[in-house]
């Protein structure tokens, strides 16, 4: 529990410092591709590097196994694809029925496709489902740990939204509800499959659907 709390404070603090102190300069002076590369490098350093160091040298755990990156891989991939396709289909159906006014098929840079569907998705899954959820579950029952992890998953989006001038309430209520539900589903999927790849694939398919629908 202490490791989960300490890690949460660390990543939120460092991420806010990066976004508030350095990102404005990065945004105004680097190209989109350069920004994307730097952002994902910073994400790795802030979100993933502390986990790998903690597991290897403090907890004395094999990181890939603890994070469920090399367990039940085939089952995880299959479940991630099946659940992801169903989830995306429901997202498209909901958008066509309810959200016609926000559907926007905008051109998206190739680097944004790559980072959204691979690097940033894997980083977030390692941080939240691979590490935080499992750490919290050591002290709490699964659903309490899953709800807390999903809430933290929502909260980590706040700094970026605020930096981009978005209002949190009510403008982001729909997005917050979506992320919360997705976080709960991702945690449940990890519990059922024992593989982080199920979470990664579902998360990537969700991001793909969001890019297509909202640009």
Tokens coding 118: 């691979």
Contact present, 179 and 154 (Cβ < 8 Å): yes
Cβ partners under 8 Å of residue 96, min gap 6: 103
Residues with Cβ within 8 Å of residue 47, at least 6 apart in sequence:
11, 15, 123, 124, 126, 127
CB 198 within 8 A of CB 83: yes
**Residue 124's closest CA among 90, 154, 144, 147?**
154
Q: Which pLDDT tens digit goes with each residue over 47-99? A: 999 999 999 999 999 999 999 999 999 999 999 999 999 999 998 888 777 65
- Grade residue 140 by pLDDT with cuts at 50, 70 and 90: very high
Q: Which two tokens stand for residue 27?
A: 């945004």
Bigger pLDDT: 96 or 181?
A: 181
Kindly report the length of the chain.
215
Which stretches within the chain are classed as H helix? 2-17, 23-29, 32-43, 49-53, 63-66, 73-98, 110-114, 120-125, 134-137, 142-155, 158-163, 173-193, 196-214
Residue 108: per-residue pLDDT: 64
Across all residues in the chain, what is the average pLDDT? 88
Given the structure tokens 């903690």, which residue do they identify?
54
How much is the pLDDT for 166? 63
Whether the model clears a pTM of 0.85, i.e. scores above it, the answer is yes
Where do the domains of the chain lie?
64-214
Q: What is the pLDDT at residue 33?
A: 85
Question: Which residue has better confidence, 50 or 104?
Answer: 50
């Amino acid at each position: 529990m202490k490791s989960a709390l300490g890690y949460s404070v660390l990543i939120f603090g460092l991420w806010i410092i990066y976004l508030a102190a350095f990102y404005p300069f990065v945004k105004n002076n680097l190209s989109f591709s350069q920004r994307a590369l730097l952002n994902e490098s910073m994400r790795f350093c802030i979100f993933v590097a502390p986990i790998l160091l903690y597991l290897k040298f403090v907890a004395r755990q094999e990181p890939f196994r603890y994070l469920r990156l090399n367990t039940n891989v085939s089952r995880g991939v299959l479940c991630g694809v099946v659940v992801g396709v169903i989830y995306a289909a429901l997202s498209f159906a909901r958008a066509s029925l309810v959200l016609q006014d926000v559907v926007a098929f905008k051109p998206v840079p190739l680097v944004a496709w790559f980072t959204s569907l691979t690097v940033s998705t894997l980083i977030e899954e390692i941080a939240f489902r691979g590490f935080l959820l499992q750490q919290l579950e050591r002290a709490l029952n699964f659903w309490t740990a899953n709800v807390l992890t999903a809430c933290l998953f929502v909260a980590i989006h706040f700094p970026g939204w605020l930096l981009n001038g978005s209002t949190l309430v009510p403008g982001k209520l729909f997005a917050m509800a979506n992320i919360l539900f997705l976080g709960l589903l991702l945690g449940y999927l990890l519990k059922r499959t024992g593989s982080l790849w199920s979470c990664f694939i579902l998360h990537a398919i969700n991001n793909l659907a969001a890019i297509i629908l909202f640009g």
